[in-house]
Structure 1
C-alpha cells in the first residue's frame, strides 16, 4: 500500500529542533507572579522544561525580568523601570500584587535566572523587551550577557522580540545566538522579515496562524511557534497544522510530556 503524503511534514525544516515544544508563559502563566523565580519553579513543578520571559535593562545596564515598561502593575514601585538602577529595583516587591502568599518576591536578575535554568536543565525563550528608545542597546547588551552566561551550555536561549532593531542589534553583537521574530498578527512579508533578521523562527499570535502559513514558514526553513494558547481545541488544531512550539498560561491544563498533535 502506498503511504499517504503529508505535505506539512514534507515542508518542515530539516534538522533537529533543540527546544521543548510546550513553553510556559512568563514562568507559570498566571499561577504565580510572572517573571519571578517562584513562577519558574511553579512551572517546572508541572513538568515544563522550557519557559518564556521578558528581559529589559535597568538604568545602569543590568538585565532583569519585567514585561511592562512601567513598574506599577507587577511591583510595589512606580514609574519607568528602565529609569531606575538595579540596586533600587532589586528592593521592590514583585509578588504581592499577585497574592499575599507571594509578597516579598523580588524582581529577577538575568544572571540568577541563568543559574537556575542551567542547574535544572531547563531551556528558555528570552523576549528582549526594551524600554522605549533603547531597542539597539537592549538587544546588544542582552545578547552579550547571554553569550557569557550560557558559554558552556549546549542549548542556548532563543532570543525573540517584537522590535526588529533589538533583534538586529542582538544579531550584530552575537550572530551565533538563535533568534525569533515576534508578531502580533500575520503580515504578508512575515517570512521575509524574519529571514532578513537572520531568525530561525517566527512566533505569531495564535489567531494569525493556520496550516498554510505554518507551511509557508517551513518552506523557508523557519520554525513556527505561537502565543498564548490556553484552549485545548485551539492547541490541537495548531499542532495538527504542523506547529513547532506553543506558549501557554495554562501550565495546569496542558501536560508538557504529551506528544503534540497526538
Structure 2
C-alpha cells in the first residue's frame, strides 16, 4: 500500500451536528474538539465557483430556495447558511472551497472533499473541483482526498488532475465494486460502515486500497471498525469520540 498521510478520525461536514454543516463555522467547531481532518461536500454555482453544500436544493440549510447550482456565486454569497441550525450561527455564509482551503492550509488541517454534483453536472463538477483543489493545494505536502458516489465525477477528476488521490463512495456493494475503484485509480473505498467485514476489508487491502467508513456515530460500530483495522472513521459525534483514540 502507498503511505497514508491522513488521520483516522474525520469530522463529518465539519462538525457533524454541533454547527451548521459545510460551513467554516462547522470546521472551526470541529477543530476546537481536536479534529484535524474534515469531510465536506462541494458543488458548483452556475458560474463555476466550487462551494460547500450537501443538498441540490438550498431550502434545508440556507435562507434561499431552489437549486443552488442554478444561481451565480454573487447570489449564493448573500444567503444565510446558519440560522436554520441555531441563533448562535445566524448570518453564517456559505463557504467557497477556496475559503476552506485557506483555513485548512493555514492550520495544517486535512480535507476530504466529497464531489457532490448538481444532478446532470457530474463530470464537469469533478473536473472543476479537481482543478481548483490542485491549484489551491499546489504547495501543500498533503493534498485533499477527493471522493464521490458519482463515477462520472471521479472520471472527470481523474482526467483533469490524475495525481490527486481519489476514493469511491459506496452505499452498497454491487457486483464489480472493486473493479470500478481500480478503473478509477482510487486509493480508498469509503462506504457505509456496516458494509465492512473481514472479507471486504481483505479484498480492499489486497487491491492496495484504504478502507474508510461513514457515518459512524456509536461506540459499538467504532470498536468493530477498529478491530477490523480500517483506516478512517467519519463521524458526526465529535463530542463523543476523541480523535486521539
Q: Give yes or no for contact 1:211–1:241 (8 Å, CA) kept in 2.
A: yes
Counterpart Cα distance in 1 of 2:207 and 2:219: 28
Q: Deviations over 1:105-133 (max 9, x none)?
A: 00001110000000010001000000011
**Match of residue 189 from structure 1:** 176
Q: Give yes or no for contact 1:184–1:205 (8 Å, CA) kept in 2.
A: yes
Number of residue equivalences: 245
Aligned pairs for 1:93-172 within 5 A: 93-172=80-159
Asked whether 1:23 is paired with 2:10, we answer yes
**Match of residue 25 from structure 2:** 38
- Unaligned stretches of 5+ in structure 2? none
Measured after TM superposition, the shift of residue 191 of structure 1 is: 1.2
Counterpart Cα distance in 2 of 1:211 and 1:24: 25
Counterpart Cα distance in 2 of 1:215 and 1:242: 10
Counterpart Cα distance in 2 of 1:177 and 1:16: 14
Q: For the aligned residues, what is the CA RMSD?
A: 0.7
- Unaligned stretches of 5+ in structure 1? 1-13
**Match of residue 50 from structure 1:** 37
Asked whether 1:234 is paired with 2:214, we answer no
Measured after TM superposition, the shift of residue 78 of structure 1 is: 0.2
Q: Give yes or no for contact 1:203–1:226 (8 Å, CA) kept in 2.
A: yes
Query: Tell me, what secondary structure is at the counterpart of 1:204?
Result: strand
Counterpart Cα distance in 2 of 1:15 and 1:172: 21
**Match of residue 8 from structure 1:** none
Query: Tell me, what secondary structure is at the counterpart of 1:67?
Result: coil
Counterpart Cα distance in 1 of 2:2 and 2:19: 35
Counterpart Cα distance in 1 of 2:34 and 2:231: 18
Q: Deviations over 1:26-63 (max 9, x none)?
A: 00000000000010000001110100000000000000
Measured after TM superposition, the shift of residue 239 of structure 1 is: 1.2
Query: Tell me, what secondary structure is at the counterpart of 2:173?
Result: coil
**Match of residue 196 from structure 2:** 209
Moved segments of 4+, more than 6 Å = none
204-213 or 166-175, which moves further after superposition? 204-213
Query: Tell me, what secondary structure is at the counterpart of 1:136?
Result: helix
220-229 or 204-213, which moves further after superposition? 204-213
Q: Give yes or no for contact 2:133–2:144 (8 Å, CA) kept in 1.
A: yes
Counterpart Cα distance in 2 of 1:79 and 1:16: 42
Q: Give yes or no for contact 1:20–1:49 (8 Å, CA) kept in 2.
A: yes
Measured after TM superposition, the shift of residue 190 of structure 1 is: 1.6
Match of 1:88 among 62, 70, 75: 75
